[in-house]
Structure 1
Amino acid sequence: MNHIVFEIGLAIALVALSGLVAAKFRFSVIPFYILIGMAVGPHAFHIWHLDFRFIESAALIEFMGRIGVLFLLFYLGLEFSVGRLVKAGKSIAIGGTIYILINFSLGLLLGWGLGFPLEEILVIAGITTISSSAIVAKVLVDLKRTANPETEMILGIIMFEDVFLAVYISILSGLVLSGSSSLGGVLLSALIALVYMLGLLIVGRKLVPLLNKALNIRSGELFGLVIFAILFLVAGFSETIHVAEAIGALLVGLVLAETEHAKRIEKLIIPFRDFFGAVFFFSFGLTIDPLTLGGEALWYSLAAVAVTLLGNFAAGLLAGRSAGLSPRASSNIGLTIVSRGEFSIIMANLGKAGGLLAVLQPFAAMYVLILAILGPLLTKESKAIYKALDKVFKWESRHRERKARAQKPTPASDEQ
């Protein structure tokens, strides 16, 4: 701890270096941040039989990474609008249900097909169902897709997943850690999470005129302090009632996006978003032991990746179609939210705490690493992927035919 400032400086320098390399090759920076974290993390010395563990301030870096997730989701909320989200409530509920049902069912089938016991199957289904809010937010911002028509569905699915996660972790914790689960407690947790999120959106929207006056602060210093106080208080309180702190940050962003100070807040947040967001992915890499990524865990993870890619793409197409989106926008949904990250690791750690099979953690680490690298690439190349698949499945021509039939006047209307 005597050299903590030097260690943090070294970590930031490595993150910057990996970012420069990514920019040089015109590649997504996320995989580079994760890989450099793996290379210098607490497990790195096992690879070269040398002690490269000079980043001993992992706990502080991890906390900085948590802050990065908050800024990423907060900014994503600022770029969006609570009005659009509320109007799309029904389609989001349908799309979120479709997404969860498809991916969770495939996760159960994967665990069963690989021959795991029941509790391990349930953990695997949790690992493969929930996408990474941080990676999705980073990709949407980097590719400037926050205004795309499919973005409201993507945000809605992220929030829908959080409600599912609150329920599922409650059930699984009771089953894995204590051998039982209270149905009443689970339903209460889910209800509290849902009411809290909806309440914050509705009440926040009503308070916009008051917020406009309250945030009319000339001093940039005081303005920043007030915004940070709101962000951290709401995000922190959210976690106390089993709503992910990242979702709390997203909700704050959605509310403040309705105010006349949105552009000023956005300008304030961008440097913090970029800095702490990069640290998050680096800290994620620090947690991965490269030597655990081989053997049966590798084959399990490759099977899970294949299932996830298939399930996400199908779920995206169906969810988008249910909301009236074009096939191309619908395909973007599945390709954007394919990344897995922090929530999958939480599920694997729950399995470890419950004394389940040790292979779950390296399986989750390899699975998350592959999709954290593959997800941003698929999103970036979504246009080319859609064009290639459309040549086979003819989605675009069928979509035009459906639109033409819908617009064609009926005989009754012709007579009128």
Structure 2
Amino acid sequence: MPFSLFTSSTVHLPDLITDLGLILVTAAIAVVVFRKLKQPLVLGYLVAGFLASTNFHFFPTVKDHHSIEVWAEIGVIILLFSLGLEFSFKKLLKVGGTASVTALTQIFAMVFLGYYAGRFMGWENINSIFLGVILSISSTTIILKAFDELGVKSQKFAGNVIGALIVQDIVAILMMVLLSTIAVSQQFSGTKLLLSLLKLFFFLSIWFISGIFFIPTLLKKLKQLLSDEMLLIISLALCLTMVIFAANVGFSPALGAFIMGSIIAETNEAEHIEHLVKPVKDLFGAIFFVSVGMLINPNTLVEYAFPVMLLTLLTIFGQSISSTIGTLLSGQPLKESIQTGMSLSQIGEFSFIIATLGASLNVTSDFLYPIVVAVSAVTTFTTPFMIKFATPTAEIIESKLPKKWIKKIELYSANTQAIKTVSTWQKVIRAYIIQVALFSIIIFAIILLSKHLLLPIMEDIPYGNILTAIITFIVLAPFLWALSLKRVATNDVKELLKNKKYYGPVIVLILLRIAIALLFIGMMLNNLFSPSIALLAFVISVFIMTLFPKRINKLYQKIENRFITNYNQRENTFKKINRNNLSPWDGHMAGFTISAESDFAGKTLEELRIRETIGVNIAFIKRGGLNICVPSKDEKLYPNDEINVIGTDEQVKEFTNYLEVHKIKIEEDESEITLQQFELIDNDCVGKTIKESGIREKTNGLVVGVEHNGRRILNPESNLILSKNDIIWIVGDKKKIRSFLEQ
């Protein structure tokens, strides 16, 4: 039977592959078109999704929506993992005051406005509640993409925006817990909400503490063995492991991804992992936004055109104004407050997740999701323009406001950034509360693990409960010691004890810590023994604690030192440099990478005269594993050096342009390199050395071999004398070699 290219039977591809291929093709076309139009790529993905959906019949459409939803969920996970990698909890603490006030002001204002907007349009109570929460969360992905495309990520206000986004994401998780409680019970239950929040706080603390203790150590130990491939696999494995844990205890998988990213962000491998994960993030992020675009129903949009317009205006102006007010209240200058507020004027991925939550719980109406997508699409389009025109808007407002108002705002900003005095007694109380809360969480988690994991394994072993008690007590001992006997705020306590009236309160605090530790010992033993045996075991446990205090203390110190080292691993790289130490002025620190094409490479800081030319100082250079703090004038810059400069927004922007100007212009080389041989017969080169012959200069090549009297010489010395009938091998420009031979 003759073979035919076109047989009667065809190979069947799974719908998942064909749908994924369709999504990526439409996404690729959208990327090219929207990049050409200089519009946000996220908007292009939404349009691509709309074109590939069943609502638009002129193009092929996806067949299996469930598989696409799975891909989209993976996209959300990778996006939030990447967010955690770039902006850790430690960074949030550094801008915590500004970020928290800005985010919370915006969230409360938008929840209020969104709820009453829904009621104004005649929506049901539950739809209005979900709407308020949806409109309160800005889009991290859209803002970061816009910052990158506009080149403002290094400006000072960007740090405030990013801190506010992280606070918003955390609050969004809390509100999802609240909404789930309301949706299931159809009423607001304060007790259930409080329990849910305590549960969230407990698991967040445990995940973060255990992650910081183990993961940086793991990556450090494996550093010599890790290739890029292994590091990518390990980081994604850690991400998905935390996602599984989060889902199993009843939280959003996105929360688990974010937590793991923030943990890895404290390691020295954070930037490397972020670079490796970026292509994966871009791929699944595109799939996520395309899948969101598929949910846009034009009929619904036409029917609900008024709500879309109203909510779009409410989002743009409501978020801008509320965020600006929040940033002003936190003590930031007017210009930065307006820049921050106008940057946060959109909704995005978390809004989609919250809308999906309402739909999955069957508590929101079908029209809510497409309306949310439409509002997100419009605000995605307007975001770059809002960011771009934020500075001119701030300048106009500053020029129009009365001067006395401007002075009051500046005075308020300076006062809020001043150091506030805290009494010694307040310091001691705060230190004791942190100590008790931290170790209580760790001890309680170990007891739960012992009860639910270790005890079931030991049940079938003789004296299994005794072995469980011994193992659990050994693990608990250093933390019980730290909870009850570790010195806290030593200098402050000594200061207090100078006044006799504080003797009693300090002793009460110490006794309270000991009582809590004893309570935990009793709780652990009560899970394993009958009351009478538990009492005997309790006495033995307390006796052991008092018998070996030094050994237990030594063990705890090892654990604490390991945790602190890991926690500060990345920050120690930047020691002696404080990014916020210029807050009373407009100065801040921004990071740059010296490209391979830069003519800065190989020059000293003195030769470059960057401070004299631009006005910025290079405060830090990171070169692979080498960290150079406050480099000297003789320090050279090399390709791929990561440098941190200190300057104002204008100076940093000027330095960005300065780097672009100082890139070497590389002209396209169309020459063809070839390996060619020829025989010396009658040639000017006979009797001369290779160096004297000028072959290298005439052919723009190298003499890599000479065959002389039957003897072959590979890579000959330049002083080798060429003879008649020698065979010469040259590597060089094909055209120039031909021209040389024709002479």
> How high is the TM-score relative to the length of structure 2?
0.49
What amino acid maps onto 1:373 in structure 2? F
**Structure 1 residues 329 and 396, CA, compared in 2 at 3 Å: closer, same or farther?**
farther
Question: For the structure 1 residues 4 and 341, does the alpha-carbon distance in structure 2 shift closer, same or farther, using more than 3 Å as the test?
Answer: same
Change (3 A) 1:404 1:35: closer
The Cα of 1:29 is off from its aligned counterpart by 1.1
Aligned letter for 1:111? G
Q: How does 1:137-148 map to 2 (within 5 A)?
A: 137-143=144-150, 145-148=152-155
The structure-2 alpha-carbon separation of the partners of 1:260 and 1:3, relative to structure 1 and needing over 3 Å to count, comes to same
CA distance in 1, matches of 2:171, 2:311: 20
Aligned equivalent of 1:231: 239
2:345 counterpart residue number? 338
Query: Would the alpha carbon gap of residues 404 and 327 (structure 1) be closer, same or farther in structure 2, given more than 3 Å must change?
Result: closer
Q: Which amino acid in the other structure matches residue 101 of structure 1?
A: F
Equivalent residue number for residue 321 of structure 2:
314
Aligned counterpart for 1:272 among listed residues 261, 265, 280: 280
CA shift for structure 1 position 38: 0.5
Deviates more, 1:127-136 or 1:94-103: 127-136
Matched, 1:27 2:27: no
- Which amino acid letter does the alignment assign opposite residue 333 of structure 1? T
For 1:97-136, list aligned pairs within 5 A.
Answer: 97-136=104-143
More deviation, 70-79/398-407: 398-407
Correspondence for 2:54? 42
- Aligned partner (choices 375, 383, 399) of residue 391 of structure 2: 383
Structure 1 position 5 matched with structure 2 position 5: no
Amino acid at match of 2:72: G
Judge which range, 198-207 or 397-406, deviates more. Answer: 397-406
CA–CA distance in structure 1, aligned partners of residues 251 and 165 of structure 2: 12
Q: Which residue among 279, 287, 306 is the counterpart of 1:299? A: 306
Question: Could you list the per-position Cα deviations for residues 321-348 of structure 1 after superposition, in whole angstroms to 9, with x for gaps in the alignment?
Answer: 2343333332233233322134434444
Quick one: higher RCO (CA 8 Å, sep 6+), 1 or 2? 1
Q: Which amino acid aligns with 1:11?
A: I
For structure 1, which segment, 266-275 or 388-397, has the greater mean C-alpha deviation from structure 2 after superposition?
388-397
SS at match of 1:294: helix
Aligned-pair CA distance for 1:133: 3.8
Q: Give 1:228 shift.
A: 0.8
The residue type equivalent to 1:22 in the other structure is F
SS class of match (2:45): helix
Q: Structure 1 residue 160: deviation in Å?
A: 3.5
Question: Mean alpha-carbon deviation: is it higher for 260-269 or for 206-215?
Answer: 206-215
Change in Cα spacing, 1:396 to 1:268, as seen in structure 2 (3 Å) is: farther
**Cα separation, partners in 2 of 1:20 and 1:126, compared to 1, 3 Å:** same
Corresponding position of 2:379: 371
Q: Provide the C-alpha distance between the structure 1 equivalents of 2:150 and 2:84, rounded to a whole number of angstroms.
A: 16
Q: Deviations over 1:366-399 (max 9, x none)?
A: 2232223323442344334444544444799926
**Residues 354 and 267 (structure 1 numbering): CA distance in 2 closer, same or farther, change over 3 Å?**
closer
Q: How many residues align?
A: 401
Q: 2:61 aligns with which of 54, 58, 63?
A: 54
| Mapped contact 2:115–2:128 kept (Cα < 8 A) | yes
Q: Which letter does structure 2 place at the counterpart of 1:277?
A: G
Instruction: Render the CA deviation track for 1:217-252: whole Å, top value 9, x for unaligned.
Output: 333322221111111222343344454433433333
Match of 1:245 in 2: 253
- Secondary structure of the structure 2 residue equivalent to 1:161: helix
Render the CA deviation track for 1:283-302: whole Å, top value 9, x for unaligned.
1101211221013x111121
2:96 corresponds to which of 61, 81, 89: 89
Change (3 A) 1:251 1:381: farther
- Structure 1 partner of 2:196: 189
Aligned counterparts of 1:345 and 1:220: Cα–Cα separation in 2: 33
Letter in 2 for 1:130: I
Task: Please state how far the C-alpha of 1:270 moved relative to its aligned partner.
Answer: 1.9
- Contact (CA 8 Å) 1:79, 1:146: kept in 2 or not? no
TM-score, normalised relative to structure 1 = 0.82
Q: CA deviation at 1:92?
A: 3.3
Maintained 8 Å contact 1:127/1:344? yes
Report which stretch shifted further, 269-278 or 241-250.
241-250
Tell whether 2:339 aligns with 1:327: no
- Higher mean alpha-carbon deviation, 316-325 vs 194-203, is at 194-203
How far apart are the structure 1 equivalents of 2:139 and 2:249?
A: 20
Equivalent pair of 2:320/2:344 in contact (CA under 8 Å): no
Task: Choose between structure 1 and 2: higher helix proportion.
Answer: 1
Matched residue SS, 1:180: coil
Distance 1:37 1:389, change over 3 A: farther
Q: Corresponding residue for 1:284?
A: 292
In structure 1, give the amino acid aligned to 2:234. V
Q: Distance in 2 between matches of 1:153 and 1:285?
A: 30
Task: Report the CA distance between 1:3 and its aligned residue.
Answer: 5.0
Structure 2 CA distance for aligned equivalents of residues 32 and 267 of structure 1: 24
Structure 1 counterpart of 2:253, which letter?
E
Say if 1:103 and 1:391 are closer, same or farther in 2 by CA, change over 3 A.
same
Q: Which runs of 5+ in 2 are unaligned?
A: 1-12, 416-743
Contact 2:110 2:319 in 1 (8 A): yes
Distance in structure 1 (CA, Å) of the matches to 2:111 and 2:61: 40
> 2:633 corresponds to which residue?
none
How far, CA to CA, are the matches of 1:234 and 1:255 in structure 2?
11
Following the alignment from structure 1 to structure 2, what is the Cα–Cα distance between the partners of residues 214 and 147? Answer: 33
Note the C-alpha offset of 1:37: 0.8
Query: Whole-Å Cα distance in 2 between the matches of residues 153 and 247 of structure 1?
Result: 22
Q: Distance in 2 between matches of 1:355 and 1:208?
A: 40
Matched, 1:18 2:30: yes
Is 2:333–2:409's contact at 8 Å kept on the other side of the alignment? no
Alpha-carbon distance, 1:306 to partner: 1.5
Offset of 1:60 from its aligned partner?
3.0
Deviations 1:89-123 (A, max 9, x none): 34433333212111111112312333434333223
* C-alpha separation in 1, matches of 2:414 and 2:168: 33
User: Structure 1 stretches of 5 or more lacking a match?
Assistant: 408-416
| CA spacing shift, 1:24–1:92, aligned 2, 3 Å | closer
Give the percent of matched residue pairs that are identical in Structure 1 and Structure 2: 25
Counterpart position of 2:267: 259
Shift of 1:278: 1.9
Q: Structure 1 residues 382, 277: CA separation in 2 closer, same or farther (over 3 Å shift)?
A: farther
CA contact (8 A) 1:82 1:201 kept: no
Q: CA separation in 2, counterparts of 1:208 and 1:383?
A: 42
Aligned mates of 1:5, 1:181 — CA distance in 2: 44
